[in-house]
Amino acid sequence: MATLRVTEAEYALLTATALLCSDRASLQAASCVERMQELILDLLSRLCGAQAGAARGGPQRFGRLLGRLTELRTLRHNYLLLTRRQPGH
């Protein structure tokens, strides 16, 4: 994340997107969560577009940020799999 020089606003929107996962097993209002996530992603896309100078990563910035979010989710998933396999967890 440091290499992308993420702003506070971008970080807050990425964090909100990560927290709002509609694929959680016990979630009862998945459609509501999906709508909120879509709104947040739209805000992030607009923010990236408004700041889309060459120094900020240009028009590809939104895609790069989403790519990092995918990487973080994968890391979390792998971590959870590893901790479940260890005795005492």
- How do residues 5-64 score in pLDDT, each as one tens digit? 888 999 899 989 888 877 777 888 888 989 999 999 999 999 988 876 656 667 788 998
The pTM (predicted TM-score) of the whole model is: 0.72
Q: Report pLDDT for 1.
A: 59
DSSP 4-18: GT--HHHHHHHHHHH
More confident residue, 6 or 88: 6
Cα–Cα distance for residue pair 51/55, rounded to 1 Å: 9
Q: Return the closest-CA partner of residue 41 out of 81, 10, 6, 85.
A: 10
